[in-house]
Amino acid sequence: MKLLTLNVDSKKFIDYANSMVNGKGAEVLFIDWLPTTGSQSQDVTYQIQIIESTPDDVQMIIFDRHSSMTPEEVDFFKNRGAILLEPVIKPRFGFLFMPYYIDKLDLPLSTWEKKRQFHFGYKGFDLSPRSERWLLKAIKEVPDVRVGASIVAKLQGDRYNTLKDVISIGDYNWNDFNITVITGSDTDYYRGVLPDITNHLKYGVVPLVHHKHKWFHALFKNFLIFDHYDISWYKIMYKAISYGMIDELYKNIETYLPEMITENFVSTIISLGEGK
C-alpha cells in the first residue's frame, strides 16, 4: 500500500508512514481537513485542487479535526466512499471516532522558566450563559486572565458589553501562555468532543479541562477544573508543577488513549486503508 498525505506537517507522522508502507498496491490519501467555510487561503485552494484531481480508485481517509465539514461536503465524500473521522465520542452519522495525533516532545526546562501569561480558552464560539457566568467568576478570582478575541464574534448587545472589558483582542502565539483552561458548549460535553491539546503540548502549555468534558476524566485526571478557585490554585502552583504535569499528561495518553500517539495513529490509518 502507498500512503499519501495532505496538510500533515508532522515529520514523525510522515517518516513513520514511509517506514510502514511498501509503496505497492492500492493508494490511500489521508487528509487532515482544513475548514473551507469562509476561507480563501492558498492551502484550502490547494486542498480542493488535490481532491478534484485524485483518481476514484484512491481510498480517501479524511480527519475532520474541527468537525467543520459542511453537510454538502460530507455527502460528497460519503458518495465517493471516503472514510470520515472526527475526534468526537458520539460522531456525526457516517463518521468514526479518531483522536488527534500528538508527537511526544522533549521540551527544555527553559520553556517553563519563560515569563508567560495565563489564558482562559474556549473551544469554538458557543459560549453558553452558564459558561459565561463561570468565566466572569474566574476572571474576578484571577484578574490577569486573557481571553482570545474569537469568542467575541457571537456575543451581541448586553452580553458583549458585559465581557468587553475582560477580553483581550489581538493575535496571540502559544508561547505567550503558560496555562489554558479548556471549556466548551453543552453540545461539546454531550457529544464527547475531545479537547484539542495538540498545540498545548507542542509549546509547553499546561491544558486544564472543564470537568463537564465527562468522557475524558481518566485522560485528564489531575487536570480537571471544577470551579474558579481551582484556576487560582493552578496559577499559583504553575512554576512548581508544570514540567511534571506535561510529563504526566503524556503518560495518561499512553495509558488511556494510545491512539493519540503519532505512530499508533498512523498504524490505525494504514489499517483502515487496507480495510482491516
pLDDT in tens, 101-135: 998 776 666 666 666 665 555 444 455 666 666 66
Q: Is the pLDDT of residue 78 over 90?
A: yes
Whether 116 and 238 map to the same domain: the answer is yes
Q: Is the pLDDT of residue 61 over 90?
A: yes
Whether 128 and 235 map to the same domain: the answer is yes
Whether 251 and 118 map to the same domain: the answer is yes
Whether 224 and 142 map to the same domain: the answer is yes
Give the count of domains, the chain.
2
Find the domain containing 120 and state its range: 110-256
- Dmax over Cα atoms in the chain, in whole Å? 61
Q: What is the pLDDT of residues 247-258, one digit of tens each?
A: 889 999 999 999
Q: What is the pTM of this model?
A: 0.82
CATH of the domain at 132: 3.40.50
Which residue in 164, 131, 126 sits closest to 147, CA to CA?
164
Whether 132 and 228 map to the same domain: the answer is yes
Whether 249 and 268 map to the same domain: the answer is no
Whether 85 and 114 map to the same domain: the answer is no
Whether 250 and 116 map to the same domain: the answer is yes
In this predicted structure, what is the pLDDT of residue 50? 92
Whether 66 and 133 map to the same domain: the answer is no
Q: Is the pLDDT of residue 175 over 80?
A: no
From residue 109, how far is each of 129, 147, 148, 178, 208 by CA, in Å?
A: 39, 26, 26, 13, 20
90-94, 206-210, 248-252, 259-263: segment of lowest average pLDDT: 206-210
> What distance, in Å, lies between the first and last C-alpha atoms of the chain?
13
Whether 146 and 235 map to the same domain: the answer is yes
CB count in 10 Å sphere of residue 53: 7
